[in-house]
Amino acid sequence: MSDLAAVVERERAETAMDALAAEGVYDDSRSVRPYGEGVAVPVTAPPERVDVLEVVETDLPPRNRDLRDLLAARGWTDDELDRAPASWAVVGTCVLVRAREESLPRPDEVGEALLELHGEADTVLLSHGIAGEHREPDVEVLAGLGDTEVVHTEHGTRYALDLAETMFSPGNQAERVRMGEVVAPDERVLDMFAGIGYFTLPMARAGADVTAVEVNPTAYRYLVENAVLNGVEDRVSAFRADCRDVDAAADRVVMGYYDAPDYLDAALDALAPGGTVHLHATTPESDPWAHPVSRLESVAGERGRGVEVGDRRVVKSHAPGVEHVVVDAIVD
């Protein structure tokens, strides 16, 4: 047979594509397209290790990864094409685009073109950023069904969330993966700003015992749901509270919040001697380490504790001239 496709449930499309690629049968030269109530994923041979609904013969067009080509076919001018989104992320069954609405020509056509590019998706969202104490997203539906509740799979960790109510940063993926690699089984971890479980879930899946604290009630609901979804509910103790009000003893403290340096008193009160803190912050690109390191050393010094700074990482650009960074340190 030729032009084979494996049909999978729409909500499993992202995971199935990764599994088919790992088996070596995913055909990335052809597009993914809706098929009945599911999604047709192109394959070079019937899969043997991946569960699918059925394998069918169907014509799937060549995969076009160039948004500019699709928009040019819709009659966009060179000036309009230069203002088209340069990047986006597929989160579950949603395509998430970050762009200034006032600079984005024909937003509805951008949405339709992105759905054409990503047949596994059913909704395109334009993000206007994150705001407020609870870090709530502001998104607009550009195209598709408008269903913003998704299950996103990332290196085996499953995140259920509503992109219209809870934040999700694709640019933090490497850091989420890394946290699942640095913890040891049975290590005690305090995740002070857990959200839906961004760092909690990879660490718990690696065997750590995580105290996860989240003040946003919607994010907290997904945090609890995601612990069950990933089978780690026995290793996650979740609290809907201000992290400064939770008593915990930890070998490792994760501070995944831009204003985390303001919470170092509570972090070091929980951190056992010789423990590790992962301090996130937003800092000037010209001097990214001065403020978080000096603040950490100052708060530790007030407690008569020393600091050994280890790895320092730029996670992503936060804004022009501003970096999102992480400082890892051992505090004696």
- Tell me the CB-side half-sphere exposure of residue 21, using CA atoms within 13 A: 8
Q: Please, are residues 150 and 92 in contact by the beta-carbon 8 Å criterion? A: yes
9 assigned to a ligand binding site: no
116 assigned to a ligand binding site: no
Task: Return the SS3 of 13.
Answer: helix
- 17: tokens are 């594509």
Task: Return the SS3 of 226.
Answer: helix
Q: Please, are residues 231 and 206 in contact by the beta-carbon 8 Å criterion? A: no
Q: Please, are residues 141 and 124 in contact by the beta-carbon 8 Å criterion? A: yes
In what side-by-side order are the strands of the sheet with 94-98?
Answer: 88-91, 94-98, 123-131, 136-144
User: C-alpha angle 316/318/319, rounded to 5°?
Assistant: 135
244 assigned to a ligand binding site: no
- 244: tokens are 């400064």
Tokens 């303001």 locate to: 262
Q: Quote the CA–CA distance of 233 and 149 in Å, as a whole number.
A: 21
Q: Quote the CA–CA distance of 64 and 269 in Å, as a whole number.
A: 53
Beta bridge partner(s), residue 312:
327
Task: Point out the annotated binding site for S-adenosyl-L-methionine.
Answer: 169, 176, 214
Annotated binding site: 169, 176, 214
